[in-house]
Structure 1
Amino acid sequence: MATQSGSAPDLYFDDALELIESEQSILAAEADAFRAFLRHVEELSVSAPSTGGAPHLCSQSARKDPFRSVREAYQATVMDLAHYDEEYGESFEESVRMEYGPDIATLLTTGQVFERHHKQAVVVATEDLIDQRERLRDALLEERESIQRFRDPVESVVDGIASLDSAATTQETPKLLDSYRRRLSVLESRCHDLIDQRQSEIVDGRRALSLPITEPDIPSYLYTNLPVTYPVVAPLTGALESAVTLTATIETERSAQS
């Protein structure tokens, strides 16, 4: 009784795990780059403005234009990452605006005086950028564990429904058709349970990162290059669609045999 509803849905667990590993490497490299940039900024020691209003730059590295020094350090660290051009391709001005926001970006691109509170603002913002990437790496670790944890049960239920779809024929006895129907009901229930569990984990991940509702969740951010955005939920949804079609076919056949 193959319903022609399609074979088992495609599974993308291996692809998802590869994307997670790649993104973790990118985040680790970016965190290290911002740490290197932070060390340079911390070396720019400035005192309070003199009577004339001009700050006294104390360190050797700060004797030249501090804004030029910051720009060169940023270009030599953050913008020198192997993936920078492919992932971002932004100019210095565009990058600092995206990472630091308009106020610090304006300071670093058009500022004339680099005082102590300016330095502190850059330091604090850079520390926050490092923390963001570390927190996201932790979230990706959770995502990897989630994908690995769901893999076997998802494959089992998807294969189970596909097997029933292939095995059933119009010549089956009423008893066997009833057996298929009961088995399908169990598998459908299992699909719904797995979907609910996965959705709950996605919500927990959003909360852990304090993501506003307007921001994409982890799967939407991570799996843009996959054919499906939700590699755990998508095959379950596809399997449910097959199960519904097969159940309807079984019901029709049972009615015809009555």
Structure 2
Amino acid sequence: MSVHSGPSTAFRIPASDPAPIAECTTLSCEVGAAVTAPAVIAAVVLAGLAAFLAFAYVRDAAEAGKREQQRVLAERDAFETFADRVAALDPAPSGSTASGIDGSMAAVRTVDRSTDTGDVRLRRVLAAYRDTVMSVPHYREEYDETIPESLAAELGSDTATALASNGTLSAASQSALVRRSRRAAEARSSLADAIGEEIDALRALENDLASVDRRRERLLEHLDGVSGAGTGAAIDVWERLEDLERECDEIAADRQAALADPPMTPDAAVDIEGDHAFYEYLYGPTDGPRYPVLAQVSELAERIREDRDRVASRLAGSR
């Protein structure tokens, strides 16, 4: 596993501030321009607009991260257990090979615990691998590999070849199996930690977005409670909503910087490459957006812009 920082790609929430009329730069002119859009003219009341956003993108991403972290930890535990079981075996005497083994990969293709054919040490190694690494709940869904395919992919093709060639568990093969299994477990542990960092970041970002949304909701509730034209209050709310939109821009910029500097770039346990490989690995297989935080920020910013347009419409109706 290695840490890799990819190049930064700017993310900007599309601006939709009211376009000023020529020769006019006052707030009232900006408000007047905002209400020229048909969609804004049709929505002139604020009642019912103060609903909280659900932040489903971020919450679903955090849940997906938790599920993947559990899978990775299950694999880590499986490799650790496999390493312990292999380490406890007695290797074959130096220079010995098992009889009846032709040296082909067929020797490690299946394990039949109901028979005594083949070398007992080899059968115990393969049985241990099948009962640990290949028995994690998601193995068939995620990998669905045979024993030699999995051994080669996880512990190196030379390891599987050595087992097949010797037809037994030599001291050298035992040492390699134990060492590489523990390395695979450590890689999973590092990956699980990185996923945990991302989950924590998502929770923090959800809190930040919820804070913005609560302030948005309170501003609209306050304006709903103002009697009469409430021109001054409406202008103040319009400006404060603009500040909230700017805050969304800042959250998006911070997240984009984080995307360029992920907790890690998976390589040993995940076959994905690219500048955003870590996030592709986590969110690529999900049904949600590839970049859930940026999608969520964009949604909140759009809601704020709609609120500002409706406030502007209210101001226009009071003139």
Q: Same fold (TM over 0.5)?
A: yes
Following superposition of structure 1 onto structure 2, how do residues 237-252 of structure 1 map, counting pairs within 5 Å?
237-244=298-305
Whether 1:11 aligns to 2:68 is no
Q: What amino acid is the match of 2:77? A: D
Match of residue 183 from structure 1: 240
Counterpart residue identity of residue 205, structure 1: P
Which residue number in structure 2 is paired with residue 227 of structure 1? 288
Distance in 1 (alpha carbons) for counterparts of 2:199 and 2:307:
33
Distance 1:32 1:204 in 2: 28
2:75 alignment partner AA: E
- For structure 2, the 5+ residue unaligned runs are 1-43, 99-117
RMSD: 4.0
Aligned to 2:211: 156
State the Cα distance separating 1:83 from its structure 2 match. Answer: 2.9
What corresponds to 2:166 in structure 1?
112
CA distance in 1, matches of 2:289, 2:218: 23
Asked if 2 retains the 8 angstrom alpha-carbon contact of 1:161 and 1:187, the reply is yes
Matched letter for residue 83 of structure 1: H
Distance 2:297 2:45 in 1: 19
> Which of 173, 198, 211 is matched with 1:143 structurally?
198
Cα distance, 1:29–1:207 mapped onto 2, change above 3 Å: closer
Q: CA–CA distance in 2 between the matches of 1:33 and 1:126?
A: 9
In structure 1, what residue type is equivalent to 2:252?
I
2:295 and 2:149 mapped to 1: Cα distance?
36
Could you tell me which residue of structure 2 aligns to residue 23 of structure 1?
68
What amino acid maps onto 2:83 in structure 1?
A: L
Query: Contact 2:259 / 2:276 at 8 angstroms: preserved in 1?
Result: no
Query: Matches of 1:215 and 1:128 in 2, distance apart?
Result: 24
Structure 1 residue aligned with 2:297: 236
Give the aligned residue type for 1:194.
Answer: I
2:130/2:147 contact within 8 Å kept: yes
Shift of the alpha carbon at 1:82? 2.7
| Offset of residue 132 of structure 1 | 1.1
Structure 2 counterpart of 1:83: 138
The 8 Å contact of residues 16 and 223 in structure 1, kept in 2 or not, is answered as no
Supply the AA of the counterpart residue of 2:282.
Answer: Y
Distance 2:265 2:126 in 1: 33
Shift of 1:14: 4.3
Unaligned runs of 5+ in 1: 57-62
Deviates more, 1:245-254 or 1:144-153: 245-254
Relative contact order, higher structure (CA 8 A, sep 6+):
2
The 1:180–1:101 alpha-carbon spacing in structure 2 relative to 1, beyond 3 Å, is farther
Alignment of 1:184-223 (within 5 A): 184-207=241-264, 213=274, 216-218=277-279, 220-222=281-283
Name the CA shift for 1:238/1:107 in 2 (closer, same or farther; >3 Å). Answer: farther
Higher mean C-alpha displacement, 140-149 vs 40-49: 40-49
TM-score normalized with structure 2 length: 0.60
- 1:26-64, Cα deviation, whole Å (9 max, x unpaired): 222222211121122222424543xxxx459xxxxxx92
The aligned residue for residue 60 of structure 1 is none
- 2-structure distance, mates of 1:239, 1:200: 19
2: CA distance, partners of 1:232 / 1:241: 14
CA 1:103–1:172: 2 relative to 1, 3 Å = farther
SS in 1 for 2:262: helix
CA distance in structure 2 between the partners assigned to 1:78 and 1:207 by the alignment: 23
- Verify the 8 A CA contact 1:34 1:126 in the aligned structure 2: yes
Instruction: Please tell me whether the aligned partners of residues 31 and 134 of structure 1 are also in contact (alpha carbons under 8 angstroms).
Output: yes
TM-aligned CA distance change 1:135 to 1:17, over 3 Å:
same
